[in-house]
Amino acid sequence: MTKDQKEHLFILIKSLTKSEKRQFKLYVNRMGSNFDSKFLNLFNFLEKSEFYDEKLILGKGIVSKQQLSNLKAHLYKQILISLRLNPALKNIRLKIRELIDFATILYQKGLYKQSLKLLEKAKSLAIKNEEKYTAFDIVELEKVIESQYITRSLSNRTQILISQADKLIIQNDLASKLSNLSLSLYERFIKAGYAKSDDEFREITKFFYERLPKIDSEKIDFREKLWYYKAHVWYSFLTQDFLSSYKYASKWVSMFEHNVKMISIHPVFYLKGNNYLLESLNLIKYPQKFKLTLENMLKQTKSPDFPVNDNLETLIFLYKYNNLINYYNFQGDFQKAEFIVKEVLYGIDRYKSQIDPHHVMVFYYKIACLYFGLNEYENCILYLNKIISNRHLKMHEDLLCFTRVLNLVAHYEAGFDYNMDYHLRETYKFLIKMNDMHEVQKALIRFVKKLGDIYPQDLKKAFINLHKELKQHENDPYERRSFLYLDILSWLESNIHNRPIGEIIREKAIQFNRRKKLPKVPF
């Protein structure tokens, strides 16, 4: 058994709130004879433990080594049963499932009419709340019961159920195709990042349109429309069409704003839609709209109607601080960004069981960028090394590549010349391995490589020449992705004009807002 598998029970117990622990103990006490049961003793021991250690468990004499695996499985199941009974954790999906369970019990007792009544209620709830896969299961169970208990008063009952089943099959098939397409595009983005060439662009576009169902997006229901917009958001990100990603993310969020009850029913999709809208606004550099969107999202999460659970708390932490850092970075307000670093690191530790390594490393990269903007190059290198030294890391290639490039530049700025040749070789080998030697990376490596041969009085001229060389790639559809991860042009301008990089970035942000207007996005 792997270490992670061994710790699943321990992680679950540590995730429980005080009220959930109290409820579990009350639940066990109601079982009477189980008050002193072994699984409760194991629960009490693990609740007080700082870490999971099977030797300590066995040393306490709670259970024998042969019985431990079964006892842990039993305790895990009992905790989940207790949590399922907790009213605070009940969402619409659990309520529907509960009605189905009750209906199944009544059916097994031969109480067909009572069972059908509950199933009708469950089906109505499922369709109203876009739980159509569950609605289809309910219709199938209704058909089974109707085959044994014919309600003569409803002569068209059979046709109604057949019609409902057919409609749900079509809707679920459409949702499945769209969700499969969305997930495939998301996986590609996480692995490889933006399209790097015309060949990749054509490949992604061909993949997208071959799998995109031919539908009128205005004539489909909420759930199908949600997946339709999500697929377009990911396609737009992959092809670097950020105005399009803004358009579809806006439509996504607008759906919830026009159907407010859906926010509490599908809070995860609401948060994700806002996050992708914020990502789009970050990439097209609109801080005013960005700030308003972030404020609206956070305000909604504090509403009494917004659900509260560990998963949502984790997502709110991720999206709040990820986007706050983005906002401060593209505004050049690095001092404000530094102010929240402690909160970010605290959150990473607090939610370490829920946050995957990819998102943690993205935080580290953004923290490194803000320290670079503050000219605190040693701190920048510290966070870049957390990414570079992680040999088991699974994050998309773009970020891994630009982590190496930024590390190279940070070592130069920090004056760490003694191992520059080593970092040059490692960066060069890594980019070759990733097949990511584009013109911007090549120019940067050539520049850093010859720095040792440039006289101090010629350094400014070298910066100017590099800036001129890179500037011509700023609007290239594939080279420009380099500037999305690392604002190397602002760094060069900072060195050329001997001005703080934050000041230069702030000026650019103001200019962006003056000369551009966001396109209107009809709902």
For residue 330 the two structure tokens come to: 């593209």
Could you give the CA distance from residue 355 to residue 310 in angstroms, rounded to a whole number? Answer: 11
110 lies in some domain: yes
For residue 217 the two structure tokens come to: 């997006």
Residue-by-residue DSSP string for 394-433 = ---HHHHHHHHHHHHHHHHHHT-GGGHHHHHHHHHHHHHH
198 lies in some domain: no
- Closest among 11, 84, 513 to 286, alpha carbons compared: 513
Residue recorded with tokens 């990042």: 193
Q: Which domain holds residue 14?
A: 3-89
- Considering the domain architecture, whether residues 73 and 102 belong to the same structural domain is answered as no
Mean pLDDT for 176-204 is: 89
From first CA to last CA, the distance across the chain in angstroms is 51
- Considering the domain architecture, whether residues 403 and 494 belong to the same structural domain is answered as yes
Mean pLDDT for 262-271 is: 92
- Considering the domain architecture, whether residues 14 and 99 belong to the same structural domain is answered as no
In sequence order, which residues have a C-beta less than 8 Å from that of residue 57 and are 6 or more positions away? 42, 45, 46, 63, 68
Output the pLDDT for position 324.
93
Output the pLDDT for position 174.
94
Tens of pLDDT, residue by residue over 191-208, are: 777 888 889 899 999 999
Q: Which of 89, 106, 135 is the last residue of a domain?
A: 89
Q: Which of 56, 89, 122 is the last residue of a domain?
A: 89
More confident residue, 263 or 481: 263
- Considering the domain architecture, whether residues 127 and 66 belong to the same structural domain is answered as no
- Considering the domain architecture, whether residues 72 and 109 belong to the same structural domain is answered as no
More confident residue, 104 or 440: 104
Phi-psi category of residue 245: left, alpha or beta, with phi > 0 → left and psi -120 to 50 → alpha: alpha
317 lies in some domain: no
59 lies in some domain: yes
Mean pLDDT for 145-155 is: 66
- HSE-up of residue 245 (Cα within 13 Å, Cβ side): 23
Output the pLDDT for position 11.
86
Q: Say how many C-beta atoms besides its own lie within 10 A of residue 401's C-beta.
A: 25
487 lies in some domain: yes
Q: How confident is the model at residue 395 (pLDDT cuts 50, 70, 90)?
A: low
Q: Which of 37, 71, 89 is the last residue of a domain?
A: 89
Q: Say how many C-beta atoms besides its own lie within 10 A of residue 417's C-beta.
A: 11
* pLDDT beyond 80 at 325: yes
- Considering the domain architecture, whether residues 62 and 119 belong to the same structural domain is answered as no
- Considering the domain architecture, whether residues 77 and 150 belong to the same structural domain is answered as no
Output the pLDDT for position 441.
74
450 lies in some domain: yes
Could you give the CA distance from residue 420 to residue 40 in angstroms, rounded to a whole number? Answer: 58
Output the pLDDT for position 1.
39
Average model confidence (pLDDT) for the chain? 84
Instruction: Count how many domains the chain has.
Output: 3
Report the percent of the chain where pLDDT is more than 70: 89
Could you give the CA distance from residue 227 to residue 229 in angstroms, rounded to a whole number? Answer: 5
- Considering the domain architecture, whether residues 115 and 76 belong to the same structural domain is answered as no
More confident residue, 346 or 392: 346
- Considering the domain architecture, whether residues 108 and 80 belong to the same structural domain is answered as no
Could you give the CA distance from residue 40 to residue 302 in angstroms, rounded to a whole number? Answer: 36
419 lies in some domain: yes
Could you give the CA distance from residue 523 to residue 40 in angstroms, rounded to a whole number? Answer: 54
Q: Say how many C-beta atoms besides its own lie within 10 A of residue 356's C-beta.
A: 10
Report the percent of the chain where pLDDT is more than 90: 34
Q: How confident is the model at residue 4 (pLDDT cuts 50, 70, 90)?
A: very low
- Considering the domain architecture, whether residues 79 and 98 belong to the same structural domain is answered as no
Amino acid identity at 118: L
Q: Is the pTM of this model over 0.85?
A: no
- Considering the domain architecture, whether residues 485 and 402 belong to the same structural domain is answered as yes
Tens of pLDDT, residue by residue over 67-94, are: 888 888 888 988 898 888 877 666 888 8
For residue 106 the two structure tokens come to: 């009544």
